[in-house]
Structure 1
Amino acid sequence: MIQPQTRAWWRATLALCLGSFLVFINLYAPQPLLPELRQLYGISTLAVGLVMSVATLSLAASLLVFGPLSDAIGRGGIMRLTLLGAGGLSLALALAPNFETLLVLRALQGFVLGGLPAVAIAWMGDEFEPRGMLSAVGLYIGANSLGGISGRLVGGWVGELAGSSASFLAVGGITLAGVALFWKLLPPARGFSARPFELRGALADLAGHLRNPLLLAAYLLGGINFLIFINQYSYLTFRLAEAPFGLGPSVLGMIFLTYLGGTLGSSLSGRLSGHLSPPACMVLGILILMGGTLITLAGSLALIVLGLTINAFGFFLAHAMASSWVGRHAERARGSASALYLVFYYSGASLGTFWLEPFWQAGAWFGVALGSWLLLGVTLGIALWLWRRQPI
């Protein structure tokens, strides 16, 4: 087992953080372009939101494939090849002739982007000593937020200068360069024990995870929280693109720098878990997310940015705790247990537009905040239940 803070630990953690960065730069690059794409294709906010939703939904579906498959054939090859495919599809997106083709390519890209998230935490569980795993998960999830920030910045800046096709080309080039480094850094697996893949056994594992209340609670908490968090950003791009703000794609991309609050939250999660139980950290994260949403109701751009930064801190704190909770409480088949968490996580993201759209139509941003609080109240109840059920 790889011991924490050793050279091997840092190399493996850096590789997985880089892979995570590449996944999320691809997934979120189109988000600041949504208002522009809506105008370009003459479609509704609900329709243009599919650019994000089809990718996250197909990513969620792919986790059901890659997670169990990794328990049978190993995890490293899946991560390497799917990252390579994601970079190639970014280049293909630049050549999409119409909106329908764009959606098909985004769905394919979402599927291959699921390869690394499906197995990375399971890889850590196989290779890292338990104390080292918790710290590595925090850094890995912090890289999620850095990738999300970078994707939106590149998407917004390049899109405003040269159009959406140029954005996809830029992201594809960055990805292929990063994959070459990832390929070199990731060490060979030494703690992995292969299990022959059997469909019946894989389904039984998934069913077993769903019957475990400690896992199911974490799955629901992660999925519902992400439904709210990520889709708030989409609706904020529409709010900030209109009067009185009138922000363009490059500035909208910079709004996602507030994700740095999430980088801090996930990075501090390991330290906080030394003082509070993981469920208590989840409760704290959700309360912070609810408070940040309240601040975004202000009419000042500075306060909106502050609220988003607070939201990111709270969300990623809760997410880091919930995802590591799954790794620690899965009784068997860690790969499929971690993958199932992410199925709920990304399914939530893909469904968020359908939940929040009626609130947006009825009450604009105040409606989105109200819809957010309703579901965050549910996840707060789940976290409190976990706290009572498993206080340590």
Structure 2
Amino acid sequence: MIAPHTAAFWRATLALCLGSFVVFANLYVTQPLLPMIAEQFGVSALQSSVSFTISTFTLGISLLFYGPLSDAIGRKGIMLLTMMGITLTTTCLAFAGDYQSLLILRAAQGFFLAGLPAIAVAYMSDEFNADALMIAVGIYISGNSLGGIGGRLLGGFLGENFGLIGTFEIMALLSLSLTLAFAWLLPASKGFLPKPLRPKSMLHQLAAHLANKRLLLSYLIGGLSFFIFVNQYSFITFVLKDSPYSLSAQFIGLLFLTYLSGTYASAISGKLGKRYSQPVCMMAGTVIIMLGSAVTLVPSMYAIILGLLINAFGFFLTHSTASSWVSLNAKSGKASASSLYLTFYYLGASTGGIYLNMFWQRAHWAGVVLGSWLMLLVILALGYRLRRLHGISQQTSL
């Protein structure tokens, strides 16, 4: 098996990070471009946001498909094919003549985007020894966040200077280059052992996860948190495009650097979870998002940036803790339990815009904050319920 810091270790880890960048950069590239998409295709803010959320929807559903398929037929081939699919759909997006065609292509792209995230850690588990696995997973997750930030920065910069068509053309070339590098760098599977594809067994396992209250509550907390957090960014782009801010797409893209506070929150979430318990950390993260959302109501660019920095810290504290909670509390089938968490997570992203749009239509950004607060109170109640369950289980074990 691959040991830490060997040539094979760095080749494989770099390949998976490059693949991760392709996935998340293509997923998030349209988010800073939503005002431009609305203007170019003559659609509303909600309709333009669907160009982002439809990809997260098909991605979330597809995650449940790729894991079992890769258990049966292998890892590298599926990851490579799906990355080629990403490149192809991005190329086709440059030729989308109407909004409906763009949505169909983004939906298809979401199907391909799920391939690598669903399989990458399984590939590492097959090929890396325990020490190498711990290091590689940490590096890979960092690659995920860099892909998300990079895609938004690229979207803003390219959209401002080259327009929508130029953005998709350049993203397609970048994706093709990184896909070829991925194919060359990633070592062929040596530790993979095929397993029979048993859909009935998979469905029974998913049902067992949903019947587990400790898991179901964490799924809802993670999914509903992303439901609010990521869609707030979609609506704030319209606030910042209009007066008195009048920001260009390039500067709106820079706004997503506020995610970096979430990187720090993720790094310390483990220590905080051990000290205060994970359900308490989820509740604390939710309260922090409520605070950050309130700060964005102050009519100042600096206040909006500060509020989004606070939001990112709170969200990633909640998300990292909830994700870790799933791994620790799944009685069996940890991989499928984690995939189900990600399904809730991305389905939350794909539906939150519809919910927040109701508030946007009535009171613009103040309405979005009100709608966010109402849902965050629900999440806080779910966290409190999880804390009660956690306390009962601790007493029982004593």
TM-score over 0.5 (shorter chain): yes
- Superposed displacement of residue 50, structure 1: 1.3
The match for 1:316 is 316
Q: Does 1:303 align with 2:296?
A: no
Question: C-alpha displacement at 1:252, in angstroms?
Answer: 1.0
Structure 1 residues 180-235: Cα deviation after superposition (integer angstroms, max 9, x where no partner): 33334445556655331122122112212211222212211111011101100000
Q: Does 1:269 align with 2:255?
A: no
* Mean Cα deviation higher: 198-207 or 349-358: 198-207
- CA deviation vs aligned residue, 1:362-383 (integer Å, no higher than 9, x gap): 2211111111122122222333
Q: Distance in 2 between matches of 1:313 and 1:340?
A: 24
Q: Does 1:249 align with 2:249?
A: yes
Would you say 1:44 and 2:44 are equivalent positions?
yes
- CA distance in 2 between counterparts of 1:267 and 1:184 reads 31
Residue equivalent to 1:76: 76
- Counterpart in the other structure of 2:111: 111
Q: 1:184 to 1:332 in 2, by over 3 A?
A: farther
Alignment of 1:178-197 (within 5 A): 178-189=178-189, 192-197=192-197
TM-aligned CA distance change 1:178 to 1:277, over 3 Å: farther
**Aligned runs of 1:148-159 on 2, under 5 Å?**
148-159=148-159
Q: What CA distance in whole angstroms lies between the structure 2 residues aligned with 1:131 and 1:279?
A: 29
Partner Cα separation in structure 2 for residue 140 and residue 293 of structure 1: 30
Is 2:66 the counterpart of 1:66?
A: yes
Q: Which structure has the larger Rg?
A: 2
Q: Which residue of 1 aligns with 2:199?
A: 199
Matches for 1:95-244 after TM superposition, within 5 Å: 95-123=95-123, 139-189=139-189, 192-244=192-244
Check whether the contact 1:122–1:334 (CA below 8 A) recurs between aligned residues: no
Which residue number in structure 2 is paired with residue 357 of structure 1?
Answer: 357
The answer for the alignment partner of 2:382 in structure 1 is: 382
Deviation per CA, 1:288-342: give whole Å up to 9, x if none.
2222112111111011111112211221222222223323333333443222111
Q: What CA distance in whole angstroms lies between the structure 2 residues aligned with 1:29 and 1:224?
A: 22
**Whole-Å Cα distance in 2 between the matches of residues 315 and 186 of structure 1?**
33
Distance 1:332 1:191 in 2: 22
Question: How far apart in 1 are the matches of 2:321 and 2:11?
Answer: 23
CA shift, 1:270, in A, is 4.1
Match of 2:18 in 1: 18
Structure 1 residue 12: Cα displacement: 4.8
State the alpha-carbon separation in 2 of the partners of residues 128 and 357 from structure 1.
45
Listed one character per residue, the Cα deviations across residues 132-178 of structure 1 (whole Å, up to 9, x for unaligned) are 76765555444333212211111111111121011111222222222
The answer to which of 330-339 and 359-368 deviates more is 330-339
| Matches of 1:208 and 1:70, distance apart in 2 | 22
Q: Secondary structure at the match of 1:326?
A: helix
Q: Which residue of 2 aligns with 1:283?
A: 283
Post-superposition offset of 1:103: 0.9
Cα deviation code 1:253-287 (max 9, x no counterpart): 11111112222222333454454433333233222
Q: Do the aligned partners of residues 125 and 268 (structure 1) sit closer, same or farther apart at CA in structure 2, a change above 3 Å counting?
A: farther
Q: 1:159 to 1:348 in 2, by over 3 A?
A: same
Aligned-pair CA distance for 1:85: 1.4
Q: TM-score, normalised by structure 1?
A: 0.90
Residue 367 (structure 2) aligns with: 367
Classify 1:380/1:191 alpha carbon distance in 2 versus 1 (closer, same or farther; 3 Å): farther
CA–CA distance in structure 1, aligned partners of residues 234 and 263 of structure 2: 20
The Cα of 1:242 is off from its aligned counterpart by: 1.1
Task: Give, in angstroms, the shift of residue 352 of structure 1.
Answer: 0.8
The one-letter code of the counterpart of 2:253 is G
Please state how far the C-alpha of 1:13 moved relative to its aligned partner: 4.6
Aligned residues: 391
8 Å CA contact 1:294–1:307 kept in 2: the answer is yes
The aligned counterpart of 1:85 is 85
Q: Cα distance 1:341–1:287, how it changes in 2: closer, same or farther (>3 A)?
A: same
Alignment identity in percent?
Answer: 50
Contact 1:75 1:123 in 2 (8 A): yes
Other structure's SS at 1:337 match:
helix
Preserved CA contact (<8 Å) 1:360 1:367: yes
One-letter code aligned to 1:113: L
User: 1:73 is matched by which residue type in structure 2?
Assistant: I
* Secondary structure of the corresponding residue to residue 359 of structure 2: helix
Q: What is the one-letter code of the residue matched to 2:329?
A: H
Q: Structure 2: which 5+ residue stretches go unaligned?
A: none
Q: Are the equivalent residues in 2 in contact too, given 1:13–1:140 (CA < 8 A)?
A: yes
Provide the rounded CA distance (Å) in 1 between the counterparts of 2:295 and 2:196.
51
What is the Cα-based RMSD across aligned positions, in Å? 2.6
In 2, Cα distance between the equivalents of 1:361 and 1:265?
A: 33
